């Protein structure tokens, strides 16, 4: 089912490959997607577990539970200071998010130090 579209000076053919032609094909695609998801779950389960600790100070930014979703697979990590073991891929994402919040807090702390940030003459402070 190709649809021909024309614009001034342009002719192209658009073929929607992803739309199923019948309900049976839609069911087959759904089954394949579910198999891929189960395969991903097995891969993440087979990864080495890494201990993760998220201090309660991060609860203001992440909530009491941080949900991490990678490739459609989700886990929930408590933000209460307890040690939890999660797969390496998820641990990397949790650390990346935590570092982002740390950078933001450090930037706010530097900006709040008015005495150190004040300059007597323009251009006195290094950029």
> Domain residues of the chain, as ranges?
48-114
Element (H, E) at 14: strand 10-14
* pLDDT, averaged in runs of 10, over the chain (127 residues): 49 54 81 89 92 95 94 92 94 96 92 77 73
Q: Are 84 and 51 in contact (CB under 8 A)?
A: yes
Identify the pLDDT of residue 116: 77
- What was the pLDDT predicted at 99? 96
Residue 20 has what pLDDT? Answer: 61
119 Cβ contact list (under 8 Å, min separation 6) = 125
Residue 79 CB neighbour total at 10 angstroms? 21
d(CA 62, CA 44): 23
């Amino acid at each position: 089912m190709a649809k021909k579209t024309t614009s001034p000076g342009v002719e192209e053919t658009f073929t929607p490959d992803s739309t199923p032609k019948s309900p049976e094909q839609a069911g087959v695609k759904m089954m394949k997607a579910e198999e891929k998801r189960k395969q991903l779950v097995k891969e993440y389960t087979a990864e080495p577990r890494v201990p993760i600790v998220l201090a309660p100070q991060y609860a203001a930014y992440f909530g009491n539970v941080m949900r991490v979703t990678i490739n459609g697979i989700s886990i929930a990590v408590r933000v209460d200071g307890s040690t939890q073991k999660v797969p390496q891929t998820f641990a990397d994402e949790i650390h990346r998010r935590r570092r982002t919040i740390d950078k933001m807090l450090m930037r706010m702390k530097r900006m709040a130090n008015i005495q150190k940030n004040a300059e007597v003459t323009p251009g006195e402070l290094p950029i």
